[in-house]
Amino acid sequence: MQKKDVVDVEVGGKRILLRVDFNVPLDMSTGAIKDDSRIRASLPTIKYLLDHRAKVILCSHLGRPGGRVDEGLRMKPVAQHLSQLINLTVDVAPDCVGSEVEERTRELREGSILLLENLRFHPEEEANKAWFARDLARLADIYVNDAFGTAHRAHASTVGVAKHLPAVAGFLMEKELVVMSELLGAPRRPFACVIGGAKVSDKMGLIQNMLRRVDILLIGGGMAATLLKAQGYEVGRSLVEDDRLDLARELLTDAREQKVAMLLPVDVLVAREIKAEAESEIVPIANIHPSSQIVDVGPETTELFSRQLVKCQMVMWNGPMGIYEIPRFSEGTRSLVRLLSTLTAITVVGGGSSADIVREMGLGEKMTHVSTGGGATLEFLEGATLPGVEALLDKM
């Protein structure tokens, strides 16, 4: 997918409306940023624009204010943190549209930067209202989208504004598209996907699309219970989507027909309750008691998956292997992440909770690519067209 990027346009002296994803987690009691990885991810684009004498106007959403002003979700903490990262004062505009904001953007000097107030203080942002997109566009000469994490949303700041300004990708957006396109179009082989999470239905499109592309598909997490039940196993009180059992059987059949090695857990950690203090034990999948529920994969499964992954040249992972939020039920996921961090293969972490886990373990730098998208990554890998990407100019 070849889209124009910031290098393809002349930015010197121009006002650049740069859509970033600064939707960072905040400590609501202090306003401090708990994880700045999304801010750091856009630094290469920001620094490029500043170094090339652009007048940079950043815009982002923060949290879910519901189309109204929420004092706890103002952009000031983000601006202060960014100022420290780039050693340059970053002011916050009083709003993201309006005459006062337009005046502030006209006064910008080359190599300076202004952060607009939270886009989602206006309901027109998520509704992609034409007037709101036009007002955003009036602030700048060129639009740059570096917010891959919001590219699956047809909002005013991701799609609407691109109808009024030359629209190109930032370096982060470009990197995401290159990596994800390689996964779908020209993966290095053997190519494995490890897919976890709670429900088969949440990842059905991903599994179906990747079955046509991978050599090995490893399934863990809660969704494994539905697939195990489809094979006739007792899974006790595990979360099972009974209305998806026929579809699960079709997936298993498709894997066999396409000669994809689709592996499910061979042993699991089970508990009577989803509580940190609940008694738990590791059992083979043939010995799950009707009163138990699966909470993690077992060590034999971890070893089985490891033997497959060390043979691969490319690995994509999306979704935890168990109930990661409870430390006692997180070892399967942690073991997988530790293994991925040691592989010589290209390793791609598919965003969302998977990216959060890798960062929490301090192993992000050991992966080839940790996606900044959640829903955007999932939809792209399902084969969907992302509106925020489609809106950008194509390379000639």
Q: Which residues are catalytic?
A: 38, 199, 352, 375
For the CA atoms of 136, 137, 139, 145, the dihedral, rounded to the nearest 10 degrees, stands at 80
Peptide bond into 387 cis (omega under 30): no
* CA–CA–CA angle 149, 151, 155 (5° rounding): 115
Unique residue bearing structure tokens 């239905």: 201
Unique residue bearing structure tokens 């579809």: 247
CA distance 257 to 186: 21
For the CA atoms of 146, 152, 156, 158, the dihedral, rounded to the nearest 10 degrees, stands at 20
> Tell me, what amino acid is at 178?
V
Kindly tell me the sign of the dihedral angle through the C-alpha atoms of 212, 218, 219, 221. negative
Pairing of strands 280-284, 267-271: antiparallel
> Tell me, what amino acid is at 396?
M
How many CB atoms are located within 10 Å of the residue 317 CB? 28
CA distance 102 to 316: 44
CA distance 40 to 25: 14
